[in-house]
Chains A and B, each alone.
Chain A
Amino acid sequence: MHGSYVSVGVFFLLGIAFVAGTFAASWLLRPHHPHREKLATYECGEKPRGGAWVQFRIVFYCLALSFVVFDVEVVYLIPWAVGLREMDAAGGGWYAIGAMALFLFILLLGWLWELKRKAYDWE
């Protein structure tokens, strides 16, 4: 079964089929009585004012940027973690840890800079 990625594709297609099938079954079973008031946007019973598609706080965008940086770093960590035992067996264990520590140190500088610029402070 090793390396059998057929199952990933099958799970993906059947997952979609399951959701679509449930929606279809529900469509057959449920009532359809649309009404102007019922289809109005919910704002706790008040008359809705304006849409929600407006410009949004920049904080979320900044968070997403930081996330990309750290997520890429994690992607780099994973193959290193898988290979560490092998590298150690070949005599390069401390070298591997040193290289990763250097990489994380550079990242730490960036993290400290962001911390100092209050990028992680929510106001």
Chain B
Amino acid sequence: MAKGGTQTARAERDWTLVVVWIGIAAVVLLVVGVVLGRLSGAVPHLQAWWQAGPSLTGLVEHLLVNWVGAWNWPASLAWLRPHAGWVAPVTAVLAWVVLIFLFMLPMVTYQIYALRKVVGFMQARVGPTQVGPWGLLQTPADVLKLLTKEDVIPRHADRIVFTIAPFLVLVPASMAYLVIPFGNQQVVDGKVVYSLIGGDLNVGLLYLSAISSVAVIGIIAAGWASNNKYSLLGGMRSAAQLITYEIPLTLAVVPSILWVGSLNLNTIAQYQDHLGNWLVWPCFPGLILFAISALSELGHVPFDLPEAESELVSGYNVEYSGMKFAMFFLAEFSNAFILSALGVTLFLGGWQSPFPESVPLLGWDHGIFAVGWFFLKTLSCVFFLFWLRATLPRLRIDQLMSLGWKILIPVGLLNVLLVAVLRVVLG
């Protein structure tokens, strides 16, 4: 009897569930129908957008302002009606979402995978193989694992500074993507037809160097707030290294600035329109200087003293765990990409093809082809970093400091003057 009773109850519950599911399905279908009906109105606007040239600005303008803005908005909601003033901020939001979620996150995740594979093969190992085909899902799995890890804040740590430090490191890293020219942009009569740059600032390079120096504060904060001797030592060393090599890094980009006469990164990329105009020729010492300082800024081999597993355990992030640790890691690999992209833009022609325009396919560098060249060059630089990691030993801190202060800074200053003389002589 009791058994029969539970069966009846279960059957009733099943029927209730069916009714509920049908109800939910009906509501969903209704919503989808209404939305589709509404969206069909967008088709002519989408066509207009495509014909005018597919830019983010145009998308916002055609869909949000011309279409949604033209709906019958009730008077009470009129203040929400999209208008022309929305274009700039909404475009910026879209650009951020595209750059971070389409470029930075997948890029960084697979950079780590590529590093493990490349260094693995160089050391006669195979790298990750277990998760997914060829281990391809290894790094996404690692990210998920870190997301679900317990977050430990040591008892004696300064909780507030401890939590703010990852922000100070990752936010500048994600802001740096704004000015990187992934490709050209076309402006007709002051209107952007298409653009492959998040925000085309005319002080792009200055912005980039200003933004990237904020991370030093985050690293000192992380090292100090942990209240751990290894962290403090690691943080101080990292900070000393970062500020020492920031000067040669900025000195290395000055020749490119004075050769082109602009701080706008896309103007610098546009200037290098054929192989003979690439800035690597007049600014070759600058490229060497840039490469050395960038390696040091990244805390990369042979300058990986901040990490120094054998002496400092792991540097300023010893006490960090879970997602907070992941933020430092993410920022490190994101900066490797940014600095490679910057080196490519300043010295190696940016998104320009090395072949003349007349060569079919290989010579094309308009629209999406420019993005292809940009990634080919930048990822080659990133590969170069991995290669170094498998090749070189680590410097001592006194060697690091003398190299920075006694050699790179005077060489950098001399290089600036020499390139300036060359520029004036050539006219």
A residues contacting B by CB (< 8 A) are 1-12, 14-16, 18-20, 22-23, 25-27, 29-34, 36, 38-44, 48, 51-53, 56-57, 60, 63-64, 66-67, 70-71, 74, 77-78, 80-86, 88, 93-94, 96-97, 100-101, 104, 107-108, 111, 115, 120-123
Contact = CB atoms under 8 A, between A and B. Distances in A.
Contact of B89 (A6, A83, A94): A6
Interface centre among A40, A41, A48 (most CB of B within 10 A): A41
B251 interface: yes
Contact of A84 (B178, B195, B230, B261): B261
A103 B426 CA distance: 24
Contact of A6 (B88, B147, B167, B398): B88
A114 to B, nearest CB: 8
Contacts of B313: 42, 44
B126 interface: no
Q: Is the interface of A mostly helix, strand, loop or mixed?
A: helix
10 closest A-B pairs by CB: A7-B199, A7-B92, A10-B92, A81-B258, A85-B261, A122-B398, A93-B424, A15-B171, A120-B405, A26-B323
Contacts of A18: 100, 170, 174
10 contacts: A2-B202, A7-B96, A14-B96, A14-B97, A23-B323, A70-B409, A71-B246, A74-B254, A84-B424, A96-B420
Nearest to B412: A74
B178 A60 contact: no
A5 B202 CA distance: 10
A85 B201 contact: no
A59 to B, nearest CB: 8
Interface of B: 57, 88-89, 91-93, 95-97, 100, 147-157, 163, 166-167, 170-172, 174-175, 177-178, 185, 187, 192, 195, 197-202, 206-207, 224, 226-232, 236, 239-240, 243-244, 246-247, 250-251, 254-255, 257-258, 261-263, 313, 318-319, 322-324, 327, 397-398, 401-402, 405-406, 409-410, 413, 416-417, 420-421, 423-424, 427
A115 B406 contact: yes
A118 to B, nearest CB: 11
Interface centre among A57, A81, A108 (most CB of B within 10 A): A81
Nearest to B197: A1
Contacts of A64: 243
Nearest to A27: B151
Contacts of A29: 147-148
Nearest to A80: B258
Contacts of B258: 80-82, 84-85
Contacts of A70: 247, 409
